[in-house]
Amino acid sequence: MSDFRTALGRARGLGSAKHGVGHFIGQRVSAVALLCLTLWGVASALSVAAGGYEGARTWLASPVNAALLGLLILAGFYHAQLGIRTIIEDYIERPVTKAALLVLNAFVGWGAAALGVVSILKVTFGAGS
């Protein structure tokens, strides 16, 4: 036997879906993005922390700061959601519990990311008026 594919797989003749490494690549591309974004984030946090409410509003009124902070939050939650997913898949055996936690992971991650991005946009667009 030289072919280990299933009968159905052979009949369809399509081979793999060709996107099995999506998780691996997504994790690494977002890692490289976050390497830059988090260093910028730490430097920004140092300057923003001393400025109080008005200072923070002024800082976030800048489109560059708003865009980079939005990207930091989006790339961060994307990367984190992939990582937490791996942890859940590694340690949780019961299928129902695992599925529930995976859904919760996606909801919390994307929910918090959406709240963060919309809040950024509200401050940025509100600043011009």
Partner 1 sequence: MSDAPPVLRARPLSPHILQWRWHITMATSILHRVTGVGLYVGLLILAGWALALASGPDVYGTYSGLLGSAIGKIVLFGVTVSLFFHMANGVRHLVWDFGKGLAPRTADITAWIALAFAAVAAVGVWVLAAVTGALRP
**Of 16-45, which residues contact partner 1 (CB under 8 A)?**
28, 31-32, 35, 38, 41-42, 45
Phi, psi of 100 (to 5 degrees): -60, -45
- DSSP 8-class letter at 62: S
CB of 57 or CB of 98, closer to partner 1: 57
**Of 53-72, which residues contact partner 1 (CB under 8 A)?**
53, 56-57, 60, 69, 72
CB of 9 or CB of 89, closer to partner 1: 89
From 23, 67, 87, 103, residue interacting with partner 1 (rule: CB under 8 A)? 87
Distances from the Cα of 33 to the Cα of 27, 103, 106, angstroms:
10, 25, 20
Q: List interacting residues with partner 1 (CB under 8 A).
A: 28, 31-32, 35, 38, 41-42, 45-47, 49-50, 52-53, 56-57, 60, 69, 72-73, 76-77, 80, 83-84, 87, 112-113, 115-120, 122-123
